[in-house]
Chain A
Amino acid sequence: MDNHAGRRLVAGIPLLWLLLFFLVPFIIVFKISFSEVRLAMPPYAPLLQWLHGLPHPKLNFGNYAFLFTDRLYISSYLYSLKVAAVSTFCCLLIGYPMAYAIAHAGPTWRNVLLMMIVLPFWTSFLLRVYAWIGLLKNNGVINNILMYLGLIHEPLPLLQTDFAVYIGIVYSYLPFMILPLYANLEKHDNTLLEAAADLGAHPVTAFLRITLPQSAAGIVAGSLLVFIPAVGEYVVPSLLGRSDQLMIGRVLSDEFFENRDWPVASAVAILILLALVIPIMLFQHYQRRELEAQK
């Protein structure tokens, strides 16, 4: 086997994987989103029907139209984008200083700190979100401590609020922000900051004009790694969030499992995907630019 064939094989295996487990299911979902709901097994009508020996395609755009007529879908769609954006921003605000500190720590400390960032992954995600219920509920840890200290006289409504959702998402996805930022910041050349200082730049100016623009790719990578899963987040809002405002992931799951309306659920899935394609393309654009700059 020559080098060329080897390279093709290495590239081909993940490609095949994506083809089988991403593209094919996507096409199936895409197809379902254009069909009509039916009380049967499977619960949707085939796209192609044979009438008198002739193929008779039945494309139904009604599912998509329905999404734009019902307030529920639009509001949960926008709510999801808002939650994801705010969470991503919070992750960035908390994650950037942490990543910066880790990148500037000594080699021993650096490994310990990185370990601590990754450590939560050793327990189940569900368990960690459940733990927040214990912390946030009316007779939970936080309210009890505040009442014991006499700071409040009746429990603060923390659970089942937007605040709880932000806490849950920021807490769960923070490592995905820190790790790419750390990988970026750790590569920075310290002599550039010395050069900036030498040219008369105060440390704050040097940070804003040298470190920050140079870490743009890390910021974008981290933000997308948080934003993309946060948009479709299902577990955190279900456990910690409000019951009167659903996120689009919950709507999607309800359509599938409660309403058994597969076509509408598929249409929701396709629209989420479309909303995420734009940030993914942004991500790739930045990655390419970073690669070019490293040449």
Chain B
Amino acid sequence: MSAQFQVDTPVPTSREQGEAYVRIENVTKKFGDFAAVDSVSLDVYRGEIFCLLGGSGSGKTTLLRMLAGFETPTAGKIHIDGQDMSTIPPYDRRVNMMFQSYALFPHMTVEKNVAFGLEQEKLGRQEIKRRVGEILEIVKMSSFLARRPHQLSGGQRQRVALARALVKRPKLLLLDEPLAALDRKLRENTQFELINIQKRLGVTFIVVTHDQEEAMTLSSRMGVMNHGKIAQVGTPAAIYESPATKFVADFIGSVNMFEGRVLDEASGSLRIQSEELGCVVAVERSVNCARGATVWTALRPEKINISRDQEQGSPENVVRGTVKEIAYMGDVSIYHVQIDSRKIVRVTLPNIMRDAEHRITRNETVYLSWHGSSPVVLTE
């Protein structure tokens, strides 16, 4: 995984007051027998960028479409700013959406597209013109007023779509895969622009994405979805460093997972015997589980040390193996090490030196070790 940019988002005010802006209560959406969204409860606070992250079919888009009003929940309630949304049609919601396909009106110019929403509010022509100009200025599309959507590039269409949604000054903006159609470089820049615009206008964003990098860059908090349920909600760092379940640990970033049994447990520490790993894992963290219980130890590839020599000391948190593959990625190298239990462990090391001598090569015997705070112990 490449570098994560830490963008400091101001702590959302409504969160401090503990007052949810969007409250989703036990919402279920069934298509036939299939529950696309399965009793989800979620609070989103004013001024947040909240990302819903999940694979295809995880229910994230269905949840977003229920917020916009295109789908009605089979069960449960959605409140936005204290108002029950059950009977409110999409065209009466102060919520706007940026569609994944952008859904720009092909027979209208950029100006007409952006003005469309304001015309529905029956504003005066001068007012509309002023606000359209203002928002196009913000998204840097002022010089494309007279163009039609098919005369724009993907990135320009994305900006127009954003402007069209924002010009209504919504309290809540829903973004469905906002950057999926852009190429990598453009995506990175646009992410930061989105954050800037969000801060400037103070709109609450709910973003749906399958791209974890996008979710981590954009969001102040995020929810990981799986099979129609929310698997975990938290800040990007909390979700990456302290995943709650095996699914989350595996879905966000890459991870090495080992099954094991709890040997003994004390306050603030835990020892796990793992056949799969072939050593005792000592964890400096208390986990709520009984002796003898089956648990999984999750180790992030970048938190494992790799060295030729075995460190003197305890035989805990160290395991021997043979390097099978090395993938050079530029910024980091990925090592696939087969440990003595035959399992392959993935390790990433940053390439700090340009021409390091004694680089570890294939088929070398190495020792993998980690700090006691690094493993995450998971019970489900």
A-side residues, CB < 8 A to B, are 189, 191-192, 194-203, 205, 209-210, 213-214, 293-295
Contact among A191, A198, A209, A293 with B90 in the assembled complex (CB-CB below 8 Å): A198
Flag whether B269 is at the interface (Cβ < 8 A): no
Q: Do residues A198 and B106 form an inter-chain contact, with CB atoms below 8 A? A: no
Q: In the complex, which of the residues A195, A200, A213 contacts B103, with contact meaning CB atoms closer than 8 Å? A: A195
Contact A201 B120 (CB under 8 A): yes
Stretch of B94-102, B133-141, B239-247, B304-312 on the interface side? B94-102
Q: B80-108, CB under 8 A of A: which get 1 and which 0?
A: 00000000011110011101010111110
Please list 24 pairs of residues, one from A and one from B, whose beta carbons are closer than 8 Å in the complex, sorted by A's number: A189-B103, A191-B99, A191-B101, A194-B90, A194-B103, A195-B97, A196-B116, A197-B89, A197-B91, A198-B91, A198-B165, A199-B164, A199-B165, A200-B92, A200-B117, A200-B121, A201-B91, A201-B120, A203-B91, A209-B116, A210-B105, A293-B106, A293-B107, A294-B150
In this assembly, does B168 line the interface, its C-beta being within 8 Å of a C-beta of chain A?
Answer: yes
A191-B101, A198-B97, A293-B148 are known; give 11 further A-B pairs, CB within 8 A. Answer: A189-B101, A192-B103, A192-B106, A194-B97, A198-B90, A198-B96, A199-B168, A200-B92, A201-B116, A205-B120, A294-B150
For the complex of A and B, the 8 pairs showing the least CB-CB separation, nearest first, are A199-B117, A200-B120, A195-B103, A197-B90, A191-B103, A197-B91, A198-B97, A213-B107
B120 CB contact (under 8 Å) in A199, A203, A214: A199
Q: Are B68 and A199 in contact (CB under 8 A)?
A: no
The distance in angstroms between the C-alpha atoms of A253 and B1, with both chains bound, is 81
Question: Smallest distance from the beta carbon of A198 to chain B beta carbons, Å?
Answer: 5
Give chain B nearest CB distance to A196 CB in angstroms.
Answer: 7
- Say yes or no: is B192 at the interface (Cβ < 8 Å to chain A): no
CB distance from A124 to the nearest CB of B (A): 41
Question: A197–B96 Cα gap in the complex (Å)?
Answer: 10
CA of A200 to CA of B95 in the docked complex: distance in angstroms?
9
Given contacts A191-B99, A199-B117, A199-B164, contact A295 B70 (CB under 8 A): no
Q: Report the minimal beta-carbon distance from A191 to chain B, rounded to whole angstroms.
A: 4
Q: What total of chain B residues lie within 8 Å of the partner, measured CB to CB?
A: 26
Set of chain B residues within 8 Å of A198, measured between Cβ atoms? 68, 90-91, 95-97, 165
Residue of A nearest to B92 (CB): A200
A202 CA / B119 CA spacing, docked (Å): 12
How far, in angstroms, from A196 to B165 measured CA to CA in the complex? 11
CB-CB under 8 A from B106, the residues of chain A are: 192, 214, 293
B70 x A194 contact (CB < 8 A): yes
B contact residues around A214 at 8 Å (CB):
106-107
Q: Which residues of A contact B103 (CB under 8 A)?
A: 189, 191-192, 194-195
CB-contact partner of A200 in B101, B107, B168, under 8 A: B168
Q: Which of B68, B116, B164, B168: most chain A CB closer than 10 A? A: B116
What's the nearest-Cβ distance from chain A to residue B244, in Å? 34
On whether the beta carbons of A192 and B150 are closer than 8 Å, the reply is no
A203 CB, min distance to chain B CBs, angstroms: 8
Query: Is B107 a contact partner of A194 (Cβ separation < 8 A)?
Result: no
User: Which residues of B are at the interface with A, using a C-beta cutoff of 8 A?
Assistant: 68-70, 89-92, 95-97, 99, 101, 103-107, 116-117, 120-121, 148, 150, 164-165, 168
* Cβ–Cβ < 8 Å partners of B150 in chain A: 293-295
CA of A203 to CA of B101, assembled, Å:
21
Cβ–Cβ contact B70 & A202, under 8 A: no
Report Cα–Cα, A19/B105, bound state, in Å: 42
Smallest CB gap from B114: residue in A: A199
- Which of A191, A192, A202, A210 makes the CB contact (< 8 A) with B91? A202
Residues from chain A with Cβ under 8 Å of B116 in the complex: 196, 199, 201, 209
Within the complex, the shortest CB–CB distance from B77 to chain A, in Å, comes to 21
Residue of B nearest to A293 (CB): B106
**CB-nearest residue of chain A to B117:** A199
Closest B residue to A191 using CB positions: B103
Closest to A190 in B: B103
User: B70 — nearest CB in chain A belongs to which residue?
Assistant: A194
B109 to chain A, nearest CB (A): 12
Minimum CB–CB distance from A211 to chain B (whole Å) comes to 11
Alpha-carbon separation in the docked complex, A189 to B95 (Å): 21
**Please, which residue of chain B has its CB at the minimum distance from the CB of A192?**
B103
Question: Is A195 in contact with B105, judged by CB distance below 8 angstroms?
Answer: yes
Smallest CB separation, A282 vs chain B (Å)? 18
Q: Chain B contacts of A194 at CB under 8 A?
A: 68, 70, 90, 97, 99, 103
CA distance A295 to B106 in the complex (A): 11
* CB-defined contacts of B95 to chain A, threshold 8 Å: 198
- What's the least CB distance linking A64 to chain B, in Å? 42
Query: Does A199 lie within 8 Å of B96, measured CB to CB?
Result: yes
Q: Which chain A residue lies CB-closest to B89? A: A197
Q: Output the least CB separation between B121 and chain A (Å).
A: 6
Chain B hits for A210, CB < 8 A: 105
- Residues of chain A with a CB closer than 8 A to B101's CB: 189, 191
How many whole Å from B71's CB to the nearest CB in chain A? 11
A129 and B322 CA atoms in complex are apart in Å by: 88
How many whole Å from A94's CB to the nearest CB in chain B? Answer: 25
How many angstroms between the C-alpha atoms of A210 and B121 in the bound complex?
A: 17
Residue of A nearest to B161 (CB): A195
Q: Which residue of chain B has its CB nearest to the CB of A193?
A: B103
**Counting chain A CB atoms within 10 Å of each CB, which of B95, B101, B106 scores highest?**
B106
Bound-complex Cα distance A248 to B203 (A)? 66
CA distance A4 to B69 in the complex (A): 54
> Residue on B with the closest CB to A206?
B91
Task: Point out which of A197, A199, A214 has the most chain B C-beta atoms below 10 A from its C-beta.
Answer: A199
Give A250 Cβ to nearest chain B Cβ, in Å. Answer: 41
Tell whether, in the assembled complex, residue A200 and residue B91 are in contact, meaning their CB atoms are under 8 Å apart.
yes
Chain B neighbourhood of A202, CB < 8 A: 91, 120
Tell which of B91, B97, B104, B121 has the most Cβ of chain A within 10 Å.
B91
Q: How far is the CB of A200 from chain B (nearest CB, A)?
A: 4
